[in-house]
Amino acid sequence: MEPRSPRVYALHGGGTTPALWNPLRRVAPDLPLVTPDLNRIARRIGATPSYGQVVDALLEEAPEGPLVLAGATLGARFAVSLGARLGDRLRGMLLLMPLDADEEASFLAKFAGLRRFLVEGYNERYRETAIPVMLHRWSPRFYEASQELRAILDEGAGPAAAPLAHASSVLDEPAALQLRRIRAPVDVRFGAADPVFEPALAASWRRQPAVRSVEILPEVSHQIPLEVPERIAADLRRLLAG
């Protein structure tokens, strides 16, 4: 029997949905993408799921065989926890706007504020303010991406995100410790125009032995899969090729 080709298990971030990966599907229909709905998984567990319960459910639903993990924002954090448990099945990871690798208290406090905004403070008026912050205002895809993001936030933010937000309120051991158990290459991408981004964030990932590359993409903000899907497709193809 021929070895099974790896598939991409792509995890969206908090306040969003699997539709975050739709532009990637359009520009790269050949990529073997599997995109679980983290909000539905968390709600299925209950109103107050733990982080570990969501990780367990994602691991149970993961495709069999070798995997490349992709994760955006909170999805990147789940990807690290999954990757640390996949062993030799993991062929690589692509992390987009991940949390601080060392998970310093100051950054976690900022992350908690974003989480509260997307759950407790989300409404249509704030959505229109948030979209130009989450996307680079002058990017070539801003018009299309803003329409996509508007629909994604309407479905994925607010009360619908509450169980997943609860799960992310207390994480497991810091990503830096879990990365020590990962032998596959890890690529990290940040958007230079993201207001959450700061140089120390990239530096925290450059210090990790498992991390092969850290790039700061110009004229890209928080929702990298919506803004530069062609670039994400190229990165994933390199990881799939080994």
pLDDT of residue 216: 98
pLDDT at 70: 98
Question: What per-residue confidence (pLDDT) applies to 1?
Answer: 33
Give the pLDDT of the chain (242 residues) as one tens digit per residue. Answer: 345 899 999 999 999 999 999 999 999 999 999 999 999 999 999 999 999 999 999 999 999 999 999 999 999 999 999 999 999 999 999 999 999 999 888 777 877 877 777 777 677 777 888 899 899 999 889 999 999 999 999 999 888 899 999 999 989 999 999 999 999 999 999 999 998 899 999 999 999 999 999 999 999 999 999 999 999 999 999 999 98
Q: What is the pLDDT, as a whole number, of residue 104?
A: 84
Beta-carbon contacts of residue 212 (< 8 Å; ≥ 6 apart): 185, 186, 187
3-state secondary structure string, the chain?
Answer: CCCCCCEEEEECCCCCCHHHHHHHHHHCCCCCEECCCHHHHHHHHCCCCCHHHHHHHHHHHCCCCCEEEEEECHHHHHHHHHHHHHHHHEEEEEEECCCCCCCCHHHHHHHHHHHHHHHCCCCHHHHHHHHHHHCCCCCCCHHHHHHHHHHHHHHHCHHHHHHHHHHCCCCCCCHHHHHHHCCCCEEEEEECCCCCCCHHHHHHHHCCCCEEEEEEECCCCCCHHHHCHHHHHHHHHHHHHC
How far is 48 from 240, CA to CA, in rounded Å?
35
Q: What angle do CA 15, 132, 36 make, to 5 degrees?
A: 25
Tell me the whole-structure pTM to 2 decimals.
Answer: 0.94
Q: What does the pLDDT read at residue 32?
A: 97
**Length of the chain, please?**
242
- The mean of the pLDDT values for the chain is 93
In whole angstroms, give the CA distance from residue 128 to residue 19. 19
Handedness of CA 222, 226, 232, 236 (dihedral sign): positive
**pLDDT recorded at residue 3:** 58
Q: Which residue segments constitute the domains of the chain, with CATH numbers given?
A: 7-241 (3.40.50.1820)
Residue carrying the six token digits 């009360």 = 159
- Percent of the chain with pLDDT strictly greater than 90: 80
Residue 2 confidence (pLDDT): 40
